[in-house]
Amino acid sequence: MTSRPPAPPVVVVGAVPLAPADVVAVARHGARIELDGAAMDRVAASRALIEALADDPQPHYGVSTGFGALATTFIAPERRRQLQLSLIRSHAAGTGAEVEDEVVRALQLLRLQTLATGRTGVRPVVVETYADMLNAGITPIVREYGSLGCSGDLAPLSHVALAAIGEGDVRVAGQTVSAVDALAAAGIPPLVLEEKEGLALINGTDGMLGMLLLALHDIEMLLDTADLAAAMSVEAQLGTDAVFAADLMALRPQLGQATSAANMRASLRDSPLVASHKDPAECTRVQDAYSLRCSPQVHGAARDTAAHAALVASRELASAVDNPVVTLDGRVESNGNFHGAPVAYVLDFLAIAVADVASISERRTDRALDPARSHGLPPFLAEEVGVDSGLMIAQYAAAGIVSELKRLAVPASVDSIPSSAMQEDHVSMGWAAARKLRRSVDGLSRVLAIELVTAARALDLRAPLQAGPVTGAVRSFLRNAGIGGPGPDRFLSPELEAAAQLVGSGEVARVAASVTPHNGGDPRS
C-alpha cells in the first residue's frame, strides 16, 4: 500500500532519530541514504572500546564468548571471525513465504540507524555497507517465519546480515540473484565480520517496528477513507448529519472522535440529499442505526489507538537496541532492551481497532442492501430484482473478510514459547503480531472499498436527488476508474479489485481531500 507521494529524495541517518516518513520513503519509494559525519565518528570511537575488550583475557559477552545459552563459552581470538560467521549462518534460519520488499528495506534501514548511533560497537565499514546496499536496491530475501520477537528479530535480521557478507539470495529490481553477485555488481565488498559485529547486526526490534510504521502510515489514510465511506453511507441511506455536530462531540472530548466527526461533516456539507429530509415532516425517523450514528465514535477510537501506537513507535525510533550495548560513558553492558513487548502490544491493539472499523463498515454496507432498512433502495441495489443479485455477494465478501479480521485480532503477544535451552524463556511474538496486522490492514482496505462501491451505487439510485460536492466527486472518480454504477448484473470481481487498489493506494482519500472544505461546516450542522 501507499497513501502519500514519495518523501524527500535523501534521508540522513545518524544525525537525529529517523522520522516515520523517512522509513516509508526509504522502504517504499527508494529514497537515498546519506550517513551523518558526526555519527560515523561516534561509530569509530565505540569500535575502539570493543577492540580493547577483545584483547582482554577476561571473557566479555558477545565479544569473546558464545551467544545465548552458550554465553559462558570463551572463544579464542583466532576463532572469533568464525564465531561471527557461524552466528549469521546458523541464525539465518527463516522459512516460509518471502517477506515483502518494503518490510525488508524498513528493517535494513532501522538496523542501520541503530548501528549509526555508535552504541553497538561495529566498525564504520559495517554501517557504510548497510547504507550502500539500500542505495543500490539490494534487498535480502527474508522469510515469513523465524522470529519470536525477543533477542530481537533474529532470523529476519540474520538474512540481511547474510547478504552483507555475500551469502544467500537477494532481490534487485524484482529479480532474484545471489548476494555475492549483487554486491559485486554494485561495487560493494562483502563484509568480513569482526568481534561483536554479528551480534550487533541481528539483535533488534527492527522488523516489527518497520511493519508498525508502515501500518500506521496506511491506517491513518484508511481512517480518513472510513470517515468518507461512512458519510457516503449516511447520505445514501437518508441518514442525518446532525448527530456529528461539533458541540455534541465536545460533550465527550475524545480527540479521535472529534476528528472523524469533523471529517464526516465536511464530507456531507452542502449535500442536497441530506437537505432533502431535514424537515421533520419529511422524515419520521428519530435516530439512525448505530452503524451510521456511531461511526465517529468507532473510527475515533481507532484514531486514538493509532496515536498511542505512534507514540510507542517514536520512542522505539529513538532507541539503540542491542545486547550488549556500548553506553555513553564507555561501558559494555548486557541488557534486555531487545524484548519486543512494547511494540508487540500496540501491534495487537491496532489489529483489534482495524477489525472493529471494518466490522462497522460491513454493517453499513449490509444496511444499504436490505430494503427493510435502506429506506427506499431496491434489494441488493439490483437492476431487476429476482433476475439480478446486485451487490449481494459483495457483502458476502466483506463479511468473510471481517470474520478473518476478528481472528487476526486475537493477540499474538499473550503467547510465549521458551527457546535457547530456556535462556530465552519469555518472548514477545512481536514479529507475528506485525505480520497479522499487515494482513488486517489489507483486509480493511477491501472492506472499505466494498462500502464505497455500495454507497456510490446507492447514491446513483437516489436520482434525481444529488450527492454533495465531496461524495459526488468520489463517486465520479470511481466511475471514471471503470467501477460502474447500477445496471444488470456483470462480472463484479474486477471492479471490486480496482476499488480496493484505489483505496489501498490512497487515491480515494486524496480525491476526497482535494474537494473537502477545510472545516467541518457549521458546528451544529
What grid cell was written down for 194?
569482526
The reply to whether 16 falls in a domain is yes
pLDDT of residue 310: 98
Asked if residue 229 and residue 199 are part of one domain, the reply reads: no
Residues paired with residue 13 on neighbouring β-strands, in sequence order: 35
Instruction: Using DSSP bridges, classify how beta strands 32-35 and 10-13 pair: parallel, antiparallel or unpaired.
Output: parallel
Average pLDDT over residues 319-333: 89
Q: Are residues 197 and 285 in the same domain?
A: no
Question: Does residue 457 sit within a domain?
Answer: yes
- What pLDDT, in 10s, does the model give residues 336-370? 888 999 999 999 999 999 999 999 999 999 999 99
Residues 26, 125 share a domain = yes
152 pLDDT band, cuts 50/70/90, is confident
Query: In terms of DSSP bridges, do strands 325-326 and 169-172 run parallel, antiparallel, or are they unpaired?
Result: unpaired
Q: Residue 324 above 90 pLDDT?
A: no
**Phi, psi angle pair for 39, to nearest 5°:** -65, -40
Indicate if 149 and 174 belong to the same structural domain. Answer: yes
Query: CA 148, 149, 155 angle in degrees (round to 5)?
Result: 65
Separation between Cα atoms, residue 86 and residue 76, nearest integer Å: 15
> What is the per-residue pLDDT across 408-426, written as a single tens digit (0 to 9) for each?
999 999 988 777 767 777 7
In the predicted model, is pLDDT for residue 127 greater than 70? yes
Residues 73 and 126 in one domain: yes
Residue 338: CB partners within 8 Å, gap ≥ 6? 150, 151, 152, 203, 204, 205, 321, 322, 323
Contacts of 252 (CB under 8 A, 6+ apart): none
Lowest model confidence (mean pLDDT) among 23-37, 75-89, 304-318, 497-511 = 75-89
pLDDT at 103 over 70: yes
Q: Is residue 520 part of a domain?
A: no
User: Nearest to residue 326, comparing CAs of 210, 208, 195, 205?
Assistant: 195
| Residue 343 is assigned to a structural domain of this protein | no
Give domain status of residue 328, yes or no: no
What's the 3-state SS for 369-405?
HCCCCCCCCCHHHCCCECCECCCHHHHHHHHHHHHHH
Residue 496 and residue 387 in one domain: yes
Q: Give DSSP secondary structure letters for 122-161.
A: --HHHHHHHHHHHHTT-EE--EEE---SSSSSHHHHHHHH
pLDDT of residue 521: 43
Helices (H), 178-279: 179-186, 197-202, 206-236, 246-250, 255-268, 272-275
Res. 284 pLDDT band, cuts 50 70 90 = low
State which of 161, 181, 204 marks the end of a domain.
Answer: 204
**Cis omega before residue 324 (within 30°)?**
yes
Between 35-49, 65-79, 380-394, 480-494, the lowest mean confidence (pLDDT) is in 65-79
> CA-CA distance, 197 to 47, in Å (whole number)?
10
CB 259 within 8 A of CB 515: no
Question: Are 179 and 289 found together in one domain?
Answer: no
| 54 and 123 inside one domain | yes
238 and 126 together in one domain: no
CA distance 22 to 11: 6
Say what the pLDDT of residue 417 is.
78
> Could you tell me the three cell numbers for 410?
486475537
- Residue 161's pLDDT is 98
Point out the domain boundary residue: 140, 171, 204.
Answer: 204
Q: Where residue 439 falls among pLDDT bands split at 50, 70, 90?
A: very high
156/70 same-domain check: yes
In a domain, 254, yes or no: yes
Residue-level pLDDT at 523: 38
Give the integer Cα–Cα distance in Å for 324 and 317.
19
Report the pLDDT averaged over residues 52-77: 74
Those residues whose C-beta lies under 8 Å from the C-beta of residue 62, and which sit 6 or more positions away, are 196, 199, 200, 323, 324
Cα 61 from Cα 121, distance rounded (Å):
13
- Rounded Cα distance between 168 and 326, Å, is 30
The CATH number given to whatever domain includes residue 131 is 1.10.275.10
In the predicted model, what is the mean pLDDT of residues 487-506? 98
Q: Beta strand pairing status for 139-140 and 332-333?
A: unpaired
Tell me: do 257 and 166 sit in the same domain: no
Q: What is the pLDDT of residue 25?
A: 97
| Peptide linkage before 272 cis (omega within 30 of 0) | no
pLDDT of residue 524: 38
- Cell matching residue 508: 480515494
Domain count, the chain: 2
Asked about 345 being catalytic, the answer comes back as: no
Kindly report which listed range (37-41, 80-84, 392-396, 444-448) carries the lowest average pLDDT score. Answer: 80-84
pLDDT band at 4 (very low <50, low <70, confident <90, very high): low
- pLDDT of 519 higher than 80: no
Can you give the pLDDT at residue 525?
40
Is the dihedral angle over the CA atoms 116, 120, 125, 130 positive or is it negative?
negative
Query: How much is the pLDDT for 279?
Result: 72
Q: 76: domain range? A: 10-204
* 204, 231, 264 - which closes a domain: 204
**194 and 225 fall within a common domain:** no
The answer to whether position 233 is within a domain reads: yes
Residue 523 domain flag: no
288: CATH: 1.20.200.10
Q: Check the CA dihedral 266-447-344-23 and report its sign.
A: negative
Mean pLDDT computed over 496-520: 91
| Residue pLDDT, tens place only, 136-150 | 999 999 999 988 888
In one-letter notation, the amino acid at residue 183 is L
